[in-house]
Structure 1
Amino acid sequence: MKALQGVEGHVEWLDEPSPTCDVGQVRIRVAAAGLNRADLLQRAGLYPPPPGASAVLGLECSGVISEVGPGASSWQVGDRVCALLAGGGMAEEVVVDARHVLPVPEGVSLLEAAALPEVYSTAWLNLFQLAGLKPGEKVLLHAGASGVGSAAIQLCKAFGSPCWVSVGSAQRLAYCEDLGAQGGVVRTDGIEGLRDFGPFDVILDPVGGDYAALDLKLLALDGRWVLIGLMGGREAQLDLAQVLGKRIQLLGSTLRSRNDQFKADLFSDLSQHVWPLFAEGRLSPQLAKTFPIKDAEAAFAELATNQIAGKLVLVIDESLT
């Protein structure tokens, strides 16, 4: 099979041995794969896959099941699905734990479905499972127009928690408001303007760095600060008295390195609480643009501009879409 590999800071569509479909696994003929910031980091040699995971790029994909391994009888050959992966999604086929697969939601195309697993898993895990977000609590989403931000805005709206965002442009702020955000700030205008909307019960932060000190100031009593990325840097100076005085919880969170059972439990939760909302029209994929796999380098370059609202998807097999 062919697969996308990160090679010395760029990507190449190379021959790769087909993986074996083992007990409890399914093989997916890949239609499309979502592109995430983790793929940028892996291409640059900064985010290696967890031990035992495929070195092929891609943390999520959509496609059609072509083989069902022993013990994966909940699926059938021909099922249209999307999957969460620790790696391997940007390939002609992928083998995955059958518990990390969900059906393509009603009314959603395979192209759109490729943009769902990673961002909705991340948003649900960090806001609702780890931070314990409750209806009526106020949320701040940094990088609100990102793929995770787009999913998080919709989930906050669906479950009754008003949210605000920080974004990179007025156009992306308007995009977030159209999705359901109450408002927010453009970071070039100064993120201190977020004080006008706080305090916040939960902050979802993929930035870190210089945002960290302000996050502490913006959090309410018993606030939860969930750090999921370091786009702004890994070092910060914090006033720890605020952590004590406000009883703040700082939660560091990554999903890719979680074990199979954790991801299976997460997907079970998504299946019950989140996936039905697509059929109801309360959630929708935010597919910004697609690229054929031969133009993967252009897709990576576009994601690196930080100008995207929503998700980018690579088309692997156009005949399936």
Structure 2
Amino acid sequence: MKALQGVEGRVEWADQPTPACDVGEIRIRVAAAGLNRADLLQCAGLYPPPPGASEVLGLECAGIVSEVGAGCDWKVGDRVCALLSGGGMAEEVVIDARHALPVPEGVLLHEAAALPEVYATAWLNLFQLAGLKPGEKVLLHAGASGVGSAAIQLCKAFGNPCWVSVGSAERLSYCEALGAQGGVLRGGDELHSLRDFGPFDVILDPVGGDYAALNLELLARDGRWLNIGLMGGRKAELDLALLLGKRIQLIGSTLRNRDDQFKADLMHDLLQHLWPLFAEGRLKPQLARSFAIEDAQEAFTALASNQINGKLVLLVDDSLS
């Protein structure tokens, strides 16, 4: 089979061994794969896959089940999307059958490739780890990103007013159209204008670095700060007296290196709590653009520009859509 790998900072669509399908696994003929910032980092040599995971890029995909291992409830021909530790940007991928979900009603197959990673991340952090309750206020840094776009919709669906920080007025308008109450542009002193909307009960932060001190200031008593990325750097100076005085919970969170059972439970939660909302039209894929797999390098460059609202998808097999 052919698959996409990062080679010296660039991507290469090349022949790779076809994986075997074992007990409890399914083989998916891939129609499309979602592109995430983790793929950029892996391609640059900064984010190796967990031990035992595929070296092939791609943390989510959608396609058609083509083989079913013993002990699985799926059938050949089922339309699925899947959360992966790697391997999605390939003609085929073999996964733990529990990490796949049916394509939501009303969602096209290539659109479904943009769902598993961002909705799993948003649900895990906001509702499982932070225990977000109806009415609590949320701040989403990088609100126009794939995770931010999913998180805004979840906040709206579950009764949580949310605000965002973004890079441009156009991106702020995009977030407001999805359901954000408002927000600010990053840069200079504009971030400090978030004080006008706070204090916040939960902050979802993929930036870290120099946002850290501001997060402490903006959080309410008993606030929860979920750090899910380091786009702004890995080091920060914190006023721990403020952390203690407000009883703030600082939670470092990743998804890719969670164990198989954790991911299976998480996907079950998505099926139960979120998938019906797609059928109702309350949640929608936020697909900015699709690229042919042969144009993968262009897609990676586009994502690295930080100008994309929502998600990018690589089309592996157009005939399946």
- Unaligned 5+ segments in structure 2 are none
Which residue does the alignment assign to 2:292? 292
Q: How far apart are residue 249 of structure 1 and its match? A: 0.1
What is the DSSP-based 3-state SS (H/G/I as helix, E as strand, rest coil) of the residue aligned with 1:176? helix
Which residue does the alignment assign to 1:126? 125
Code of the aligned partner of 2:83: L
Tell me, in whole angstroms, the C-alpha distance in 1 between the residues paired with 2:185 and 2:115. 26
Which residue does the alignment assign to 1:316? 316
Kindly provide the CA deviation profile for residues 247-270 of structure 1, in whole angstroms up to 9, marking residues without a partner as x: 000000000000000000000111
Tell me, in whole angstroms, the C-alpha distance in 1 between the residues paired with 2:298 and 2:100. 28
Which residue does the alignment assign to 1:307? 307
Q: How far apart are residue 188 of structure 1 and its match? A: 3.0
Kindly provide the CA deviation profile for residues 270-315 of structure 1, in whole angstroms up to 9, marking residues without a partner as x: 1100111000010000000000000000000000000000000000
**1:139-158 superposed matches below 5 A:** 139-158=138-157
Q: How far apart are residue 5 of structure 1 and its match? A: 0.5
Code of the aligned partner of 2:268: S
Tell me, in whole angstroms, the C-alpha distance in 2 between the residues paired with 1:106 and 1:271. 12
Tell me, in whole angstroms, the C-alpha distance in 2 between the residues paired with 1:175 and 1:278. 19
Tell me, in whole angstroms, the C-alpha distance in 1 between the residues paired with 2:160 and 2:41. 32
Which residue does the alignment assign to 2:161? 162
Tell me, in whole angstroms, the C-alpha distance in 1 between the residues paired with 2:13 and 2:59. 16
Normalising by structure 1, what TM-score?
0.99
Code of the aligned partner of 1:267: M
Cα RMSD (Å) of the superposition?
Answer: 0.5
* Structure 1 residue ranges, 4+ long, deviating more than 3 angstroms after superposition: none
Normalising by structure 2, what TM-score?
0.99
Tell me, in whole angstroms, the C-alpha distance in 2 between the residues paired with 1:95 and 1:24. 10
Which residue does the alignment assign to 2:53? 53
**1:73-152 superposed matches below 5 A:** 74-152=73-151
Which residue does the alignment assign to 1:279? 279
Kindly provide the CA deviation profile for residues 74-103 of structure 1, in whole angstroms up to 9, marking residues without a partner as x: 210000000000000000000000100000
Which residue does the alignment assign to 1:29? 29
Tell me, in whole angstroms, the C-alpha distance in 2 between the residues paired with 1:111 and 1:66. 17
Q: How far apart are residue 111 of structure 1 and its match? A: 1.1
Which residue does the alignment assign to 2:250? 250
Tell me, in whole angstroms, the C-alpha distance in 2 between the residues paired with 1:110 and 1:21. 22
What is the DSSP-based 3-state SS (H/G/I as helix, E as strand, rest coil) of the residue aligned with 1:105? coil
Percent identical pairs in the alignment equals 80
Code of the aligned partner of 2:272: Q
- Unaligned 5+ segments in structure 1 are none
1:181 pairs with 2:180 = yes
